[in-house]
Amino acid sequence: MPATDSYFRKLSTLHIVFAISMLSLFVATMWMMAADHRDEWRTYQSQMDRFVAAKNRDDQQSQMAALVNGDADAYKERVDELTKQLEKANVALGAADSKIPSLTKVARLAENEAGIISREVKTKRAERDVARANYDIGVRDQVGKQKATLLMRKFQKEQAEVKELELKLEGAERDSAAAAAELSEATSERDEVKSKLGELVSKIDLLQASLDKIAPESSFNAAKRWLMEKPIIDGFNSHHKIIQDWIPDLHQTLGMTSTARFDRCRTCHLGIDQSNGDGTPMYPHGELEGGGFPHPFSTHPRTDVYLSAASPHPLPEFGCTSCHEGQGSGTSFQNAAHGPNDPFQAHEWKKEFGWFDNHFWEYPQLPERLREAACIKCHHSVIELGVNKQYGPTAPKVYEGWQIVRQFGCFGCHEIHGFDGATPIGPDLRLEPRTEAERLALEADPNQVPGKMRKVGPSLEHIGQKTTGVWLENWTEMPSRFRPSTRMPQFFGLSIQPDKDSLHGQFEPVEIAAVAHYLLEKSSDVELLSPKEGYKPNADRGKTLFSQRGCLACHQHSDAKFKDSKATFGPDLSRVNEKIIKGEAGFRWLYTWIRDPERHHPKTKMPNLFLEPGDDKGEFVDPAADIAAFLLTASGEPLEYHETKVDEKALNDLVRLYLSKALTTDGVNKTFGEFGYSDKPKEEIKGDEIELAVEAGSKKVSKAEWRKMMMNYVGRRTISQYGCYGCHEIPGFEKSRPIGTTLQDWGRKDRTKLALEHIEEFLHHHGEADGSSTRDRIAKAMQMKESDSFKSEEAEAKEMRTAFFFESLLHHGRPGFIWQKLRHPRSYDYEKLETKGYDERLRMPKFPFSEEQIEAVATFILGLVAEPPMEKYQFRPDGAAEAIVEGERILQKYNCGGCHMLELPEFTFGMEPDGFRATNTSGQFPEALELLLKMKPPRNPATGEFREFYDEELEETVEAPVFNVKGLVLNHDEFDGYALEIWETLKVDDKLVLPTGRVSGIYDSFMIEKKPPKGGDFAFWLVDDLVKTRIVTDMKRGWTASPPPLVHEGHKVQTPWLYQFLKNPHRIRPMTVLRMPRFNMSDDEARTLANYFAAVDGTEFPYQQVPVREPAYLTAAQAGYAENHPERAANANYLKEAWETLNAPLCIKCHAVGGRPFQNTEPDPQKVTQGPNLQGVADRLRPEWVMLWLYNPAWVTPYTAMPVNFPMPKEGAKPTLPGLFDGDANHQTIGVRDALINYHRLLEQEGKYPITAPAAAPAAGEAGGS
């Protein structure tokens, strides 16, 4: 088609259209750029700049004030003054008649001359070294005598020239130094002023330089900074930019792949990892008015633990989302998948930030209340999260949840596999192998790791000897009725709709009675012990023994005498008399249990208390019988126990229901017609139907026998249904598996697989314990939060906790599901009973959990994700760290802290430093003080904090520094305040305060915190009781008679001895009213616990060298003895004299020593002091500890009554034993230590010392135990 000059469209119109389009695109482009530049992270970074600038200005003022008498204006005046002085000095030095220019020129020339000569020396030395090397090569190559001579002459020539230049250099340097000194003397006044000015302005200049980067005072720099923040320009390395942390080895699963983690959290949280030099947060969280910084500008509150380079979790290695979850690559509040802590916060976020719950992101940020859940991805042992000597409890909530799961035995039904084969994937909570053979088989398999958890409930294998069927029925029906503090959950009486649930009323009584029937039918007998024939147990004496022999370390009793004892490790024994079979049979059962618990159950946690019958002050006493008589004495009104009535029709119907799951209808009818199941031989029946089995062709059983068989069948089926064997050893269930779902990866369970059923309707109409609506409760709570009308923070926290979980449940969240499951486990059956069979209903029992405990358990379970990071990120302790972690587990398992104090109480209070009195050490051997400071290094008790306190004497508020000390309360009253006995070494300013030092006059208004000791509750109670009952005369003797503290036990005992002692304990301290029981520990557990104490104190383990026994040490000691005591050395040797010193009339006053028994010379029984037999010291105690103990026992154990037997003699005083070591007390002390450590050798060499009556012990200075 030929071309034409015409246009299809009008050009003028096209120009207009294109112009408008161009303008629109330009506007859209500008709009896009502006929108892109309005990212919220830019706003946060700009705001952070302003906060940092303001903080730097405040820091400047503070630094100025700190430098000059606390006054910033005075600082400026001082700087101006020094500046003027410096200018004046410079003017004076630059005057026409000044010598400074000439002196400066002379000094510079002298310095240059020395520099030139120095370079010449270096060159000439190099040439000399070449000549030396050439000579050495010639010698090596055997060049001949003539050439070797030439090479040597060359070296000697170069060496002479070097010496000549070195002398010249010495002179030049001397001239340079003299010229510089003359110049320095001339400018000394100016230099002094300049130095003072530099000291004042150096720190301030650094702050100013930092401030100039953020908020420059220069107009040019300010304009430059402003320009760099503008669009397009900001692409050229602007100070405002996205900050990304790449953690390549800490992978994240996204869809079907695993990828490196990218975190951009610091784009907004700019100060999150910034800490001060002392480790405190640089930008502490809080209100601006109070000097704090709001989110997202504040620093992490625990930079000692997280993010900082010195912490165990440095930011470049761990990032943020590995702990907090969330979408690390997001750079907006919405995309980061933040997790609100309650619905009200979610509502506020939605209004302020446009937050929404992103269901498409699999890892939303953990809300604050659940944030500790992520810790157990790496910390599989969990213990270190709650017990940590260095950092304290770092994740107390998840630790509490873990403890609850362990204590209540959740793992009995829900296994928590910590291993995938042999690969760790999380906390491991699985039952231990039932037999030793099973354990060995698992350990031999490289792909298996045996469980370690013991069943939490008592064995029911011999229950028939213990209690009655009626009691069992009542206990099974509702455990809390008999014992309100029980941990056993409630299985029955939990119907969610009793008005619609007819089967509940029919079948539950049958199940309850059948369980009791089965347990009694299958119970086997053990051989029971009996007291000596004719012995009449004394209940009153039993009450005293119950209080003194350690029972209250684990148990409670309602007797008024024990009202202050609150142990919860074991069950409350107040009503045990109602539980045990009446009469002689019940008494024998309890007597046997108290005296020999392992006879009933080989794996019991109840220790053997060594309550052996014997003579006590001329009277035969059987402690176990007396304690049993006391426990079987009624305490309070007994409960009414009813026998559960079994409806025969209901029994038959229930049997038919259960049989229908295994047999056809004809098979069920046949079984009922024949009164037994005979289709298979008994050995082929694997299920509960074994209880109904009869041999084919055998005689038909009677109706009564058939009823027994049916009761056994229902009982066994009920036990199977509810998984009772998960907590108890029950005959017939030795190989049964846990009934519940495994939980090791429940924290990642697909939310679509949560069977929520009609739970929303249940919570709408019911939900609360009183039957009211949970939805209405939440609505009211939200209104109160909106109006800020909660009466207390505790009430607000409680209601917002419920609101959070309720909202989570409505959104099909895992937290909400488990919360409701623990609150009301059968509630998910609401409106489902009509469509479920009786045996298909939910089975989980109701545990007596508080709302706080439910949240803790939920936190732990939600942390079980089975997604361990690479091994380098996991906490895999070894050496001492492993010993501490595993040791803590054993301590808790056997309740060692029930008796023993493991850590001292801590007191935080305000006081002037003058309140601490320095200990007078003039009467102490320097070696003793050195040893004390090594074993108990001095600690500064000052926290660095100052607080205001109300002084009641001055009737005004005063400011005082805050101190923290460890020790015991000696006295407390409202007038004199607290008096504390210090058990550690303190350094307060330049004062050294040693153990046994006292701090008094701490008024209640100055006491900030009293942190209780770790363990020792029973010991504290017993000490108080012994004093009140006048069994001892004072608190010090009370402690001597009580379980000893185990503080610094690792410094004290030898690890191999402690292992043997834990396996087979024997009496050490004759003055204690109880002795160490024998726990049912395995060899590994005893070894672990022995290592634990050494590891905690940083001493060597598992074996210790004892150099005091080595020939090298003894040879040196003999040489020193001969040198220091030449006259005595002529007729004796060192060890023999040491042995004589040990057996001199000192130690024998209170100890058995040298083969001689302890001989009491004190007529008053309350003043008798008998220490341990010294025969055991050699294998039991570490030499350094023995040395310190002999130097000053009270430094080790302040309450001890043992005196310093070999004190440093005062001038003119007579030595303690002048005939031994020439009266040298220090040598006597060392000698006694060496004799004790070499005790067995010396006893064999020297023989037993003859028994002689010792001198009477002095009134003051009795001996305690070691």
Mean of the pLDDT values across residues 71-99? Answer: 73
In this structure, the answer to whether residues 516 and 557 fall within a common structural domain is no
DSSP state of 1075: -
Mean of the pLDDT values across residues 205-228? Answer: 83
pLDDT of residue 189: 77
In this structure, the answer to whether residues 520 and 656 fall within a common structural domain is yes
- Is 24 inside any structural domain? no
Q: What is the tens place of the pLDDT at every residue in 810-854?
A: 999 999 999 999 999 999 999 998 889 999 999 999 999 999 999
- Is 6 inside any structural domain? no
Cα-Cα-Cα-Cα dihedral sign, residues 35, 36, 38, 39 = positive
Report the Cα 516 to chain-centroid distance in Å. Answer: 42
In this structure, the answer to whether residues 1008 and 1117 fall within a common structural domain is no
The residue from 369, 392, 420 where one domain ends is: 369
In this structure, the answer to whether residues 822 and 948 fall within a common structural domain is no
A 10 A CB-CB count for 297 gives 21
- Is 116 inside any structural domain? yes
> What pairing do the DSSP bridges indicate for beta strands 614-616 and 619-621?
antiparallel
- Is 899 inside any structural domain? no
In this structure, the answer to whether residues 584 and 694 fall within a common structural domain is no
Q: How far is 963 from 952, CA to CA, in rounded Å?
A: 19
The residue from 956, 979, 1012 where one domain ends is: 1012
In this structure, the answer to whether residues 507 and 585 fall within a common structural domain is no
CATH of residue 553: 1.10.760.10
Q: How far is 634 from 632, CA to CA, in rounded Å?
A: 6
732 residue type, one letter: G
Of the listed ranges 571-585, 590-604, 633-647, the least confidently predicted one is: 633-647
CB 1239 within 8 A of CB 1108: no
- Whether 1259 has a pLDDT exceeding 50, the answer reads no
What ranges make up the beta strands (E) of 367-440? 419-420, 423-424
In this structure, the answer to whether residues 315 and 286 fall within a common structural domain is yes
- Is 513 inside any structural domain? yes
Mean of the pLDDT values across residues 13-31? Answer: 92
- Whether 870 has a pLDDT exceeding 90, the answer reads yes
pLDDT of residue 899: 96
Distances in Å between the Cα of 1048 and the Cα atoms of 185, 408, 924, 1166, 1240 are 59, 32, 22, 29, 26
CATH of residue 1111: 1.10.760
pLDDT of residue 230: 84
**The dihedral formed by the CA atoms of 773, 779, 784 and 790, expressed in degrees to the nearest 10:** 30
- Is 223 inside any structural domain? no
In this structure, the answer to whether residues 355 and 413 fall within a common structural domain is no
pLDDT band at 1212 (very low <50, low <70, confident <90, very high): confident
Using alpha carbons only, give the angle 12, 18, 19 rounded to the nearest 5 degrees. Answer: 90
Domain region containing 848: 406-458+738-862
Report phi then psi at 447, rounded to 5. Answer: -100, 10
In this structure, the answer to whether residues 662 and 619 fall within a common structural domain is no
In this structure, the answer to whether residues 806 and 850 fall within a common structural domain is yes
- Is 198 inside any structural domain? no
In this structure, the answer to whether residues 691 and 768 fall within a common structural domain is no
- Is 746 inside any structural domain? yes
Q: What is the tens place of the pLDDT at every residue in 1170-1210?
A: 999 999 999 999 999 999 999 999 999 999 989 999 999 88
In this structure, the answer to whether residues 513 and 599 fall within a common structural domain is no
- Across the chain, mean pLDDT equals 91
Q: What is the tens place of the pLDDT at every residue in 752-768?
A: 999 999 999 999 988 89
Q: What is the tens place of the pLDDT at every residue in 114-173?
A: 899 999 999 999 999 999 999 999 988 888 888 889 989 999 999 999 999 989 989 988
DSSP state of 613: -
A 10 A CB-CB count for 599 gives 16
List the structure tokens of 636.
């309070």
The residue from 341, 369, 397 where one domain ends is: 369
Give how many domains the chain has, as a whole number. Answer: 7
Q: CB within 8 A of 1234, min separation 6: which ones?
A: 1108, 1114, 1117, 1134, 1135, 1138
Query: Kind and range of the H or E element at 199?
Result: helix 188-214
Query: Kind and range of the H or E element at 197?
Result: helix 188-214
CB 282 within 8 A of CB 298: no
Tell me the three state secondary structure of residue 972: strand
Report phi then psi at 790, rounded to 5. Answer: -70, 145
- Three-state SS string across 976-1044, please? CEEEEEECCCEEECCEEECCCCEEEEECHHHEEEEECCEECHHHHHHHHHHHHCCCCCCHHHHHHCCCC
**The dihedral formed by the CA atoms of 349, 352, 354 and 359, expressed in degrees to the nearest 10:** 0
A 10 A CB-CB count for 122 gives 11
pLDDT of residue 188: 78
DSSP state of 1210: P
pLDDT of residue 1264: 41
Q: pTM, whole model, 2 decimals?
A: 0.88
Tell me the three state secondary structure of residue 226: helix
Mean of the pLDDT values across residues 807-811? Answer: 95
